[in-house]
Amino acid sequence: MIARAIGSDRRTMLWLGLIALAAGLLLPHVVYIGLATDIVIWALFAAAFDMLLGYTGLLSFGHAMFWGGASYVTGLLILRAHWTFVPAVLAGVVGAVAMAALVGAVSIRRQGIYFAMITLAFGQMLYFLTNQFGEWTGGQDGLQGVPRPVVFGHMTLENDQVFYYLVLALTALSIVFMRRVVTSPFGQVLGAIRENEPRAMSLGYRANVYKLVAFIISAAFAGLAGSLFVIAHRFTSLDTLDWHTSGQVVIMTLLGGMGTLFGPLFGAAFYLVINDRLSTLANASNPLLAQFGHSPGLVLGVIFIVVVSVFRRGIVGELLNALRR
Amino acid sequence: MKHLHRTCLLALAALLPAIITASSHPAPVQADETLTIAVMNDQSKVYADLSGQGTVSAVRMAVEDFGGDVLGHTIKVISVDHQNDPALGQTKAAELYERDGVDAIFDLPTSSVALAVAGVAAKDHKLAFVVTGGTDALNMDRCNKYTFHYGYDTYALAQNTGRILTENGGKKWYMITANYAFGQSMLKNFTNAVVSAGGEVVHNDMVPFPNTDFSSYLLLAQSYKPNVVGLMNAGDDTVNAMKQINEFGMKKSMQVGIGLLFESDVAATGPEYWSGSTITVGSYWNLDEKTRAWADRYKKMTGKRPTWVMMGNYSAVTQYLNAIQRAKSTDPDKVIKELEGYKFEDVFARHAYIRAQDHLLIHDMYVATIKPASQVKEPYDFFQIVKTVPGEQSYRQPSQVTCHL
Amino acid sequence: MTPSYLALQIFNGLVSGAFYALLSLGLSIIFGMMRIVNFAHGAFYMLGAFGAYLAAQWLGLSFWWALLLVPLAVGLLGIIAERTLIRRLMPLDPLYNLLLTFGIALVIEDFMKIFFGTQGTPYAIPAGLMGAVNLGITAYPLYRLVLVAIATLACIAVWFAIEKTPLGAKIRAATENPTLTQAFGIDVSTLTTLTYGFGVALAGLAGVLAAPTTNVTPVMGSDIIITTFAVVVIGGMGSIKGSIITGFLVGVIAALGAVIYPPIANTLIFLLMAIVLLIRPTGLFGQPEATAR
């Protein structure tokens, strides 16, 4: 069975939340602000994904469609229709929700790997369509030159620091919301479905409805993250819809620890920082270190193998587990 | 004990990013003491052999040849792997410009990354020289004051290869196009060139990108009996298409016009597959005495011959440093003024100048065929230059350029 | 478009289809027996292609010898991976092994990049198999005809081995009920290891067959892995018959797509997968999911 959702102990979660918030506030002073913003945005994406995987037990290989899809919706509205921050981001989230409702409605009945593959199929089809309408979306060159929108008509988001704290606030609120969902009675049912779906159904719960709702909520927050992504970077590209991106969020969630909600936050930070460092590692004076700079796949692959084989609950998950003893 | 051991390992693992961050973060440099040049390209994925570390070496050579410092500033070169990820490339570019005092970024293969970084350059008022990235959007609708498109673009490739093959009897063209912006741009430019020279495009296949099996398209092509098969793609797609063109024995009855090719692509299969095909390049290490001497020095440094874009980067850095010297300042706006319109000759660029209107490098381009295997004397000795075409005839005319800087 | 031309395109589709069938066969067998989605399948395919190259470079072996020996070598590597890494995670949710094999694929791919670079490594069509055969409408490469013959023979041989031989019976038994099979005195653990090795050996064989016509690069595996999954899922995971038939089917559909509307040719398989899964939840020939272990 997938690692049981641990750390439902309220005090532990509160502490974790405070640590995460503190880390978020300190982050821009430790790494470059652009990287910090990316970390928080991906953390949100990973947390949303974990809600589906760790808590509901559904593996989606197409989650990039919500992230990327929302980024294109928001990006296009800001670039072509000059929408401001709140409407554009909301539109992105609505877009993701709509896609999730559609895809979920037809796929949710499928189990396990089949569900994963159906979501992958839809993801690939969205990628294809986005490339086909390259006139609108910029195709492989990406949707470039998206300006930072204004918030409520006054506040400009040009300042990277200001934007970071806005993103941090939105992410923190989202995490709190998701936390509430998974600890609510609704969330308890999700957990029951994850543990033993037939039994939950025999108790009268319509499992498919619950799973669909969880799928949509997860997609909504993935979409929120995607909308923030395009604003942060001032562009979006087909990469955001690629299955590799879906794979990346799975990796982040696993590295941090499934079913912990805070694990994925750490996983996102971990993955992005290592990836960032690898890109300039070739400049290191130590030749061995420099060689790693040319083989990021090797480094990440080994880390990944070690985490999956040894630290199965993910780094945060294992730490929480160790602390419990 | 095992429990403690495991927890320690865990804590270590958790702190790994912090450790790496602390140890390898380059100290922020004082802009007035050092001039920092960054080479940003793909060092671990598909374009790693085309440009990658080889380009970094070429850039270091340029700095060395220049003397290692300019106007009293020591010149520092750092390399960055963008992994073909535009988000990573953009974030790193911003970090390099804003935090690490980098003055100029060079190379930038992969059009989506080049465009993203060009945007950062414009925002941060620092310089970006796109050498390996080929999309003409960089010198047309997405041009900006701080970005230079230096080396080639899809228009120049089409203008030469397309026109020459058509004029020499290749009237009927069958196009196989990779369905992404670069391929589409190549198709548009080639079609223009072919039609202007009196030829016609009998059919085009918009092949998904990326693609490995071209057999269906080649079978269809055979039924049209064209004079030329035009490969409007690059990299792995081109190599696979060429491998299969040979498999189908199509070279006996038709010519192959390749949109974009580098020495590394030919090395992927060996020259016999490509021999007889026609391409256009920005330069070639075995072009003349001057390039050969340079390539010999490069080989001493790296053990290999360069691809022509590696030479392009050498040239771009050299001209950048020269411009700084002329401007007597490292201030980007002053350097830009010195770069625009200045006529020069170097190992890569002949009869060259950077056009002020669109920051495109205008220089001699070369039409080449691929040698048969028997004439290849060493690795990367693949091209036979058959014609030199002046920049004015290769690149888009100013009247057609949509960029006005 | 003439009917004879259409027939030619369909035939060409069957040729590519034979290749897909062979590649997905191994994946299906592994899933059927071990319930794991072998994300490293593409990496072993790639190793097969490089194996052919190295067999020629280091040992001077011809294509035919490579066809025989390289799959064995790849199978051996698979056995090592199974024994050291995969086996440990077998008692857990299959998700772990899916992710583990993904990590293994990353490592293998980057490892090869260090030694071979990314542009491609030359491998030519064997001398005796060059040239084209006149099929009436057009000349068709001899090598492709040989490829479809070998791939089809391999598929049939595997199907026969699994369905009709005693060893195959043991494998099928172990797939359906490992505990009971073990109780009968059959060493399920060794059988599992051998199955994984066999599955990736088939991938290696596909790699050797691909080397003469496809650019041999470290990323060639990750380029086709998703399509391979799709074929297996459409056919029904664990169904040998399903993988073979679907492989050919997908080849033909992609060929028709290329003829009618090229841009969608490579995406059609995903459309097909979505449609099939909606109508038949476990694929065309798949069994309804057995109770979880």
CATH number of the CATH domain containing A136: 1.10.3470
A118 at interface of C, judged by CB pairs closer than 8 A: yes
Strand order in the sheet with B383-389: B200-207, B172-178, B228-232, B255-258, B278-281, B365-370, B383-389
Residue C95: closest CA among chain A residues belongs to which residue?
Answer: A2
pLDDT score for C128: 86
Write out chain A residues lying below 8 Å of B184, CB-based: 134, 139
Helix (H) or strand (E) holding C246: helix C240-260
| Confidence bin at C292 (pLDDT 50/70/90) | very low
pLDDT, tens only, A37-63: 999 999 999 999 999 998 998 999 999
Domain ranges of chain B: 30-152+283-363, 155-281
Write out chain B residues lying below 8 Å of A266, CB-based: 14
Q: Is the pLDDT of residue C240 over 80?
A: yes
A110 vs B231, residue with greater confidence:
B231
Instruction: Enter the ipTM.
Output: 0.91
pLDDT score for B122: 95
pLDDT, tens only, A245-276: 998 999 999 899 888 878 999 999 999 999 88
pLDDT score for B13: 67
Of the candidates A249, A28, A158, the residue with the CA atom closest to the CA atom of residue B95: A28
Q: Is the pLDDT of residue B323 over 70?
A: yes
Question: Mean of the pLDDT values across residues A77-81?
Answer: 95
Q: Is the pLDDT of residue C282 over 60?
A: yes
Mean pLDDT for chain C overall:
90
Note whether A30 contacts B21, CB cutoff 8 Å.
yes
Which of B10, B24, B182 is the closest to A140 by Cβ? B182
pLDDT score for A2: 42
pLDDT score for B21: 60
Report the gap between the CA of A211 and the closest CA in chain B (Å): 32
* Residue B255 one-letter amino acid: Q
Of the candidates C74, C80, C86, C83, the residue with the CA atom closest to the CA atom of residue C34: C86
Question: Mean of the pLDDT values across residues A9-18?
Answer: 82
A4 in a structural domain: no
Structure tokens, A200: 């939950």
Of the candidates A61, B95, A83, B272, the residue with the CA atom closest to the CA atom of residue C270: A61
Residue C214: closest CA among chain B residues belongs to which residue?
Answer: B240
Residue C235: closest CA among chain A residues belongs to which residue?
Answer: A114
Note whether A233 contacts B26, CB cutoff 8 Å.
no
| Confidence bin at B7 (pLDDT 50/70/90) | low
Question: Mean of the pLDDT values across residues C122-142?
Answer: 86
pLDDT score for A325: 66
pLDDT score for C228: 93
pLDDT, tens only, B268-320: 999 999 998 999 999 999 999 999 999 999 999 999 999 999 999 999 999 99
pTM above 0.90, yes or no: yes
pLDDT score for C172: 83
Report the gap between the CA of B239 and the closest CA in chain C (Å): 6
| Confidence bin at B18 (pLDDT 50/70/90) | low
pLDDT, tens only, A236-246: 999 999 999 99
Write out chain B residues lying below 8 Å of A289, CB-based: 24
Q: Is the pLDDT of residue C232 over 80?
A: yes
Write out chain A residues lying below 8 Å of C227, CB-based: none
pLDDT score for A145: 87
Percentage of residues in chain B having pLDDT higher than 90: 80
Q: Is the pLDDT of residue A10 over 50?
A: yes
C60 in a structural domain: yes
**Category of B165 on φ-ψ map: left (φ > 0), alpha (ψ -120 to 50) or beta:** alpha
How many degrees, rounded to 5, is the angle at CA C290 between CA C287 and CA C293?
Answer: 145
* Residue C293 one-letter amino acid: R
The structural domain count of chain A equals 1
Of the candidates A314, A98, A92, A114, the residue with the CA atom closest to the CA atom of residue A215: A98
Residue C105: closest CA among chain A residues belongs to which residue?
Answer: A301
Q: Is the pLDDT of residue B322 over 80?
A: yes
Question: Mean of the pLDDT values across residues B128-147?
Answer: 92
C180 vs B162, residue with greater confidence:
B162
Q: Is the pLDDT of residue B228 over 90?
A: yes
Note whether A294 contacts B44, CB cutoff 8 Å.
yes
CA dist., res. C12 & res. B219, Å (int): 9
pLDDT, tens only, C165-206: 988 888 888 877 878 888 888 888 889 999 999 999 999 999
Which of A32, A273, A297 is the closest to B17 by Cβ? A273
pLDDT score for A293: 79
Could you list the residue range(s) of the whole structural domain that residue C208 is in?
Answer: 15-220
Q: Is the pLDDT of residue C123 over 60?
A: yes
The structural domain count of chain C equals 1
pLDDT score for A1: 37
C248 in a structural domain: no
CB pairs under 8 A between A and B: 144
Long-range contact set of residues B22-31: C-beta below 8 Å, sequence gap at least 24: B24/A277, B24/A280, B24/A281, B24/A284, B24/A289, B26/A280, B26/A283, B26/B78, B26/B100, B28/B99, B28/B100, B28/B101, B29/B76, B29/B100, B29/B101, B30/B101, B31/B101, B31/B103, B31/B330
CATH architecture for residues B30-152+283-363: 3-Layer(aba) Sandwich (3.40)
Chains that touch C (3 or more CB pairs under 8 A): A, B
Report the gap between the CA of A118 and the closest CA in chain C (Å): 6
Task: Residue B141: count other Cβ atoms within 10 Å of its Cβ.
Answer: 11
A234 in a structural domain: yes
Task: Provide the CATH topology of domain B155-281.
Answer: Rossmann fold (3.40.50)
Question: Mean of the pLDDT values across residues C5-17?
Answer: 91
Q: Is the pLDDT of residue C220 over 70?
A: yes
B136 vs A170, residue with greater confidence:
A170
Q: Is the pLDDT of residue C11 over 60?
A: yes
| Confidence bin at B22 (pLDDT 50/70/90) | low
pLDDT score for B24: 47
Identical fold at B30-152+283-363 and B155-281? yes
Could you list the residue range(s) of the whole structural domain that residue A248 is in?
Answer: 10-324
Of the candidates C109, C206, C30, C61, the residue with the CA atom closest to the CA atom of residue B212: C206
Write out chain C residues lying below 8 Å of A106, CB-based: 274, 278
The residues near C145 (Cβ < 8 Å, ≥ 6 apart) are: C15, C133
C188 in a structural domain: yes
